[in-house]
Amino acid sequence: MTPEELQAAVKQLHEGALSIRRFRNRLDREVLTIPVSVTNNLHEAAQCLDDAAADLLNAYGQPLPDGVL
């Protein structure tokens, strides 16, 4: 994996996590009867993507970019 591919993969993972967090926030605002388990699962999914990005960087020996996590 080239450094460019690594950065692209990490960026996609972080963008996916951000997208999930935005969706979760929108659900919290718009759907008052949403079960807590749904929002918790969305939170966990976003965290898993962030963790995967960090693990990917660690596996290739790259430091985490400034401001990440």
Q: Where are the domains of the chain?
A: 3-58
Count CB-CB contacts under 10 A for residue 59: 10
Q: Is the dihedral of CA 24, 29, 31, 34 positive or negative?
A: positive
Q: What is the largest CA-CA distance in the chain?
A: 46
pTM: 0.80
Per-residue pLDDT of 3-33, as tens digits, reads 888 889 999 999 999 999 999 999 999 998 9
What share of the chain in percent tops pLDDT 90?
A: 65
Give 32-46 pLDDT, tens digit per residue: 899 999 999 999 999
What whole-number distance in Å separates Cα of residue 23 and Cα of residue 13? 15
- Split at pLDDT 50, 70, 90, the class of 50 is very high
Looking at residue 61, what is its pLDDT? 67
